[in-house]
A and B are shown apart, each in its own frame.
Chain A
Amino acid sequence: MKKLLSLAMAGVLAFSVAACGSNDTPAASDSNAAPEAAEAEDAEAAAPAEGGVLKIGGIGPTTGGAAVYGLAVMNAANLAVDEINAAGGINGMKVEFQFEDDEHDAEKSVNAYNTLKDWGMQMLMGTVTSTPCTAVVAKSAGDNVFQLTPSGSAVESIAQPNAFRVCFSDPNQGAASAQYIGENKIATKVAVIYDSSDVYSTGIYETFAAEAANQGIEIVAAEAFTADSKTDFSVQLQKANEAGAELVFLPIYYTEASIILTQASTMNFDPKFFGCDGLDGLLAVENFDTALAEGVMLLTPFAADADDAATKSFVSAYQEKFGDIPNQFAADAYDAIYIIKAAAEKAGITADMSASDICEAMKTAMTEITVDGLTGAGITWSADGEPSKDPKAVVINNGAYTAM
């Protein structure tokens, strides 16, 4: 058996070496990694009007516990790419998009990044989750590859100059939530239920707690749960109830929030609930009793039932193609592709530029563009990669979002 295994391993190694035998050094592999890219280049010399192919890579979890976010991003990005290609591409270039799975793991994410590099990726739209994003950004900064994350919200996720993001940062959301609650005098006694094993959740909770002190909000209970014990929330709710909380702040994702709302209703505990963009998607949970979510407030940049034409056409196209209602991750990804388009057009990117040249041009262009997307109007970026857009506060009324 050992011999068999050794043979198998030799085969595997030979395969991987052969698979990349045609590759050159990494610097050169950016522009002509695959034979067809080289051909495209030749064709381009003959007919420059065609524009060639721009290869955009994407990374996110499409299997494992976080698959729901990665799949949403993948689907929405594919949708945007198809639309762009149908409308003539970016600067006449056809966009090719490839999405790789990272299982929400930093190491797998770097593997996915390297796979995309071998494919000849020129720009990266990813990664979807924060921790893998931090790991990948370190690598992409080393290679000088432009990276735009749709939803990596931790501060460190865009610590490098080549990285930008579409969503809000965690501290931004935590502080904005506390300010909103404080300024609108929604409540003074607040309980927080957060996921102490999650980067997103703890990130928001910490800045919320820091800002709450400035806003005259008293945090009467701060109860945690972990990825391993998220079936039952009765204790956290009961503690919030006993501490006399008027409002429960939920910096978590909607899967857990749907259980919290159900359990609160069976306990006859009826505070106000306030969440961040992670709660978006609550109403789209199949078979969820939306009456439970009545009066829930959230700060989100995107509402799937908004009335504007862009959102409507996006939601109907997404639903037609993939069968479910897009969440905020999908909207971020859809915007991300159009942001790349806007910046690439501004920077005058052509298909024969190396990834490093593209990155330099895009870095400048990103700070100059203004984009109207699904997740905000007139979004601009600073050089540190943060978008400037205002979180919109919405409240759930009769099973639909209403602006507050």
Chain B
Amino acid sequence: MKKLSKTTKSSLITYGIVVFAYIFCEIFMRTGHMSSLLKGILVPLCVYVVLAVSLNLTVGILGELSLGHAGFMCVGAFASAVFSKCMMETITVPTLRFALALLVGVVCAGVCGVLIGIPVLRLRGDYLAIVTLAFGEIIKNLVNVIYLGVDSNGFHVSMKDAMSLQMEPDGLVIIKGAQGITGAPTDSNFTIGVVLVLITLVVVTNLVHSRTGRAIMAIRDNRIAAESIGINITKYKILAFSISAALAGAAGVLYAHNLSTLTALPKNFGYNMSIMILVFVVLGGIGSIRGSMIAAVVLTLLPELLRSLNEYRMLIYAVVLIATMIFTWSPSAIGFRERYSPAKLFHKREKGVQ
């Protein structure tokens, strides 16, 4: 066997962690040693891991701050849920239906990524952040007012209410405005989630380690230098941004098929969610794919494990968030850690990823 390069080894370790976690969970689930809470939260964990890894592509690899990631998730979720609900009778094999829905969701989110990326990526820094936030909010607002129905005459769309769809009596209202979509098939499960996580990891790690990935990182590190050696900045930026959006769409598909109801509330598709994903990325280490993955898992489980604290739960969560950031990033804390922690023993690289 050929000697593996360092990067390949690192990606293999990442895949290994996922596969190991999957086997570990499956064993516990099969032998009946897993709590209902953990069983229920497995699919959401996959959703957040995919989201965190895909946002890391924009924030860590491309180096642009995006606060609208939940918007792409929303597009993927609604597009695929509409598809699944329409096809519920036609395609009866859940896995096939999910695979097609996934395709629909990913394509829709990816196209949105390109459309939004073209104007947005001209901007830089905080201006870009606020425009992505604006896009996320626009998508949420639009989804909340769309009424979509289907009957023998085809699709009907309205922005007013369900009555103005003017449907035949046999019609089926698919999206009921703010009431969202109910009764879409719950096709996703843990295995599908893990497969999706692996696909995301393969896509992202291969992109990062490819010629394209190096070009993207060159843009991040020094835009002007990258431009001067002939890298097409717009092309690579849009490429990275739309791949990130498409993967967020995939996470949305998984999310939409996990519960029997799908609504666009500020909580799940608003800027709060985008910020939550950003927290995963920053806490896991900007640019570190494995870190995003782990941070997404830990931060999703944390509020659940704090349930016994009752009303102090979210307060403690906020404190943990601030404390972790200071512990990870503050220069004095880094110094303290390097001097006293056992991590020093296997510490090779220099800290302070920018």
Contact = CB atoms under 8 A, between A and B. Distances in A.
A131 B145 CA distance: 16
B-side interface size class: 35 or more
B182 A156 contact: yes
Nearest to B162: A206
A226 B288 contact: no
Interface string B256-290: 00111101111110100000000000001100101
Instruction: Classify the interface of chain A: helix, strand, loop or mixed.
Output: helix
B220 interface: no
A115 B37 contact: yes
A131 B313 CA distance: 23
A25 interface: yes
B265 A104 contact: yes
B295 interface: yes
B180 interface: yes
Contacts of A117: 36-37
Given A135-B260, A206-B161, A154 B301 contact: no
A206 B163 contact: yes
B155 interface: no
Contacts of B176: 202
A323 B191 CA distance: 49
A118 B37 contact: yes
A382 B345 CA distance: 69
A203 to B, nearest CB: 6
A209 B163 contact: yes
B144 A15 contact: no
Contacts of B259: 106-107, 110, 135, 138
Contacts of B41: 111, 114
A105 B261 CA distance: 11
A296 B32 CA distance: 56
A16 interface: yes
B294 A2 contact: yes
A103 B37 contact: no
A148 to B, nearest CB: 19
Contacts of A65: 266
A16 B38 contact: yes
Contact of B266 (A108, A154, A228): A228
Contacts of A154: 179
B285 A23 contact: no
15 contacts: A1-B351, A5-B294, A16-B37, A16-B301, A17-B34, A17-B38, A23-B32, A107-B259, A111-B40, A111-B304, A114-B35, A197-B144, A201-B178, A226-B141, A228-B266
Given A113-B40, A202-B178, A203-B179, 12 more contacts: A1-B328, A3-B346, A17-B28, A20-B35, A20-B38, A63-B313, A134-B260, A138-B261, A197-B178, A199-B179, A199-B180, A228-B137
